[in-house]
Structure 1
Amino acid sequence: MDKTEDSGALRRAPSQKRSQERVERMLQAATALIEENGSDAMRMGEVAERAGVSIGSLYQYFPDKAAIVRTLAERYNAEGRTCISDGLAGVRDMDGLLQAFGALIDTYYGIFLVEPVMRDIWSGTQADKALRDIDLRDSRANGALLAEAWQRVAPAAEGEAIERKAFLVMSLGEATMRLAISVERAEGDALVADYKAMALREIGASG
């Protein structure tokens, strides 16, 4: 399935290869514009012009720029879930879980430091209810991935408590990343390090 086909932010899903390629060009154009000046400055006409499509063609798929941003958010979240799933798939004991999850925290922070589009989307999450809903669904999905690995290495722990804690760990992690990229780099590094230590301590306490 094309990455854009399952996005709820699209007005209609592209079914033909040419349509899928056209939507991909639109998203690439929007990404470039956000990288240059942020999503607030992005205009639908600019997206259409850079993508080489008519404004009418753009509106066939995206009713407004918020829909474009939500589609990009869903795409990044899907890629993130795949990264988490792959990172935790081989975990077989508590030491392995702590090492794998710690590495995922470092990876995510590194991505946010260098990816302006993800920073832009996250900075606008609190002002957009649809983005907040996407963010919440993503936290729950990521929490479920962590809970699955956590329960695998700590089978004696109470399942419902692990699921709740895993959801909280992931939600706090996302909040920490959002805060860390909003402050000076040194402070951001320290905040992520503190979150990492707290999260690993909580996970390890159940082992």
Structure 2
Amino acid sequence: MAKEAVVKRRRKPKPTGQPRRIPSQQRGRERFERILSVASDLIERNGSDALKMSEIVEKAELSFGALYQYFPDKTAIIRTLAERFNEQGRQCVADELAKVTDADSLRVALGVITDEYYAFFRREPVMRDIWHATHTDKLLQEVDAEDMEFHAQALLSVLKQLWPDRAETELLAIARLTMQLLAAAVRYAVSLDEKEGAEAIALFRKMQVADIGRLLG
């Protein structure tokens, strides 16, 4: 029993995907940002799968102790980068949905959001890599699910204002499906070359307008 207890104590904790702490002092913030900047450069060059803490230490000119003071593992670094990119996406969605006043402007807003997301992932290879990594990483899947639900709830608020007589459960289902399909279309489009990707997005926008029109009337 004693040996089993020792073994259990020596086991590494499961990665949480969270930074240990976010520094408040300027020197700490500068180190924090330098770590993320170096990690971004390495991911852009080699992909997130190849990211190593030892490389970050070398490129950022920090000790392992300084690195682990903020991030317990590379998953925490990748998750922090993903959440930062997601925050930019949320702002885009919020800005466009704030302009919606009727069904027509809703269709316009969804089209703009689709275009903006596609352009965003085209110009951000790091986020594109992280998005692809989501398929095999459970912690990143949690981040993605949280982000998708945030967008669905934002869209739901608009749908409830435009169609107050419709059941909320029905509108929520429409909001979730709309955002899932939008994300799937963008993921597919960025996997293509630029010309084909733009054509795929243009086609999706036409389909999206028709689908929203049928669902909401």
Length-normalised TM-score, structure 1: 0.88
1:172 is matched with which residue?
181
Find the aligned partners of 2:45 and 2:91 in 1 and give their Cα distance.
27
Query: Counterpart amino acid of 1:69?
Result: I
RMSD over equivalenced CA pairs, Å: 1.9
Instruction: Tell me if 1:159 matches 2:178.
Output: no
Query: Counterpart amino acid of 1:135?
Result: D
- Give how far 1:70 is off: 0.9
The size of the alignment, in residue pairs, is 201
Find the aligned partners of 1:48 and 1:204 in 2 and give their Cα distance.
53
2:200 is matched with which residue?
191
Moved more, 24-33 or 195-204: 195-204
Q: 2:104 aligns with which of 95, 102, 113?
A: 95
- Give how far 1:8 is off: 6.3
Q: 2:55 aligns with which of 46, 57, 68?
A: 46
2:66 is matched with which residue?
57
Could you report, residue by residue, the CA deviation over 1:103-146 in whole angstroms, capped at 9, with x for unpaired residues? 11011101111210111001100110001111111111111111
2:82 is matched with which residue?
73
Q: 1:182 aligns with which of 188, 191, 195?
A: 191
Runs of at least 5 residues in structure 1 that lack an aligned partner in the other structure: 1-6
- Give how far 1:201 is off: 2.2
Instruction: Tell which structure's C-alpha radius of gyration is larger.
Output: 2
Find the aligned partners of 1:73 and 1:85 in 2 and give their Cα distance.
18
Runs of at least 5 residues in structure 2 that lack an aligned partner in the other structure: 1-15
Moved more, 180-189 or 166-175: 180-189
- Superposed counterparts of 1:5-16, under 5 Å: 9-16=18-25
Instruction: Tell me if 1:117 matches 2:126.
Output: yes
Find the aligned partners of 1:167 and 1:114 in 2 and give their Cα distance.
26
1:17 is matched with which residue?
26
Runs of 4+ off more than 6 Å = none
- Give how far 1:11 is off: 1.9
Length-normalised TM-score, structure 2: 0.84
2:12 is matched with which residue?
none
1:3 is matched with which residue?
none
Could you report, residue by residue, the CA deviation over 1:151-191 in whole angstroms, capped at 9, with x for unpaired residues? 22233332221111111111122222222222344443343
Could you report, residue by residue, the CA deviation over 1:2-27 in whole angstroms, capped at 9, with x for unpaired residues? xxxxx962122323232122111111
